[in-house]
């Protein structure tokens, strides 16, 4: 599987571990239709976080569907790699994975009038190491036409994805 389609084609699951059997785009579309038919206004936030454990780095990408004022749920993708990366490379890989899935799903969000944000687990405070990737991440996300959120407002990456990585 080539790296460009790794997040799109790999296995997705729910928080309870249930595997999502249709392609992720189909599962997201079914969820959008169901939630809108139930009267909910949906906002989607996509984010990725990673953790280095020994020689492996695990990435978790999440698609969070927020029912405005009524909670939400998420679809999760976990993948591991043994590729060595600097902190900045790892952070930009996180952003790339989020953009990859956002770009793939963008036609659905347009079709159903769904607000989309791409969240980066990058601190806006220059005292933190992750700040070294802030300008590149923000430029990358904004240049793709997506709304950008960084810490402390990047809950999809810094809370949801962090929880499942």
Phi, psi of 135 (to 5 degrees): -65, -40
Domain range for residue 65?
A: 3-164
State the average pLDDT over residues 119-123.
96
Q: Structure tokens of 54?
A: 């020994």
Q: Smallest Cα–Cα separation from 101: which of 59, 135, 158, 162?
A: 59
**Distance between CA atoms of 31 and 151, rounded to whole angstroms?**
27
Question: 38 pLDDT band (50/70/90 cuts)?
Answer: very high
pLDDT tens per residue, range 75-101: 999 999 999 999 999 999 999 999 999
Question: Global pTM?
Answer: 0.92
Kindly tell me if the per-residue pLDDT of 4 is higher than 80: no
**Distance between CA atoms of 89 and 60, rounded to whole angstroms?**
16
Phi, psi of 149 (to 5 degrees): -135, 135
7 touches 81 (CB < 8 A): no
Kindly tell me if the per-residue pLDDT of 121 is higher than 70: yes
**Distance between CA atoms of 165 and 77, rounded to whole angstroms?**
9
Number of domains in the chain: 1
């Amino acid at each position: 599987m080539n790296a460009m389609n790794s997040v799109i084609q790999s296995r997705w699951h729910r928080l309870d571990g249930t595997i999502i059997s249709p392609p992720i785009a189909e599962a997201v579309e079914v969820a959008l239709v169901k939630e809108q038919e139930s009267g909910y206004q949906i906002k989607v936030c996509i984010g990725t976080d990673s953790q280095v454990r020994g020689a492996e780095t695990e990435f978790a990408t999440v698609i969070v569907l927020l029912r405005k004022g009524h909670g939400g749920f998420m679809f999760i993708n976990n993948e591991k790699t043994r590729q060595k990366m600097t902190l900045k490379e790892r952070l930009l890989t996180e952003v790339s994975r989020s953009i990859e899935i956002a770009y793939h799903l963008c036609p659905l969000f347009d079709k159903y009038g769904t607000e989309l944000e791409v969240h980066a687990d990058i601190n806006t405070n220059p005292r933190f190491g992750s700040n070294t990737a802030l300008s590149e991440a923000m430029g990358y996300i904004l240049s793709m036409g997506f709304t950008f959120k960084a810490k402390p407002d990047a809950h999809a990456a810094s809370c949801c994805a962090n929880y499942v990585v």
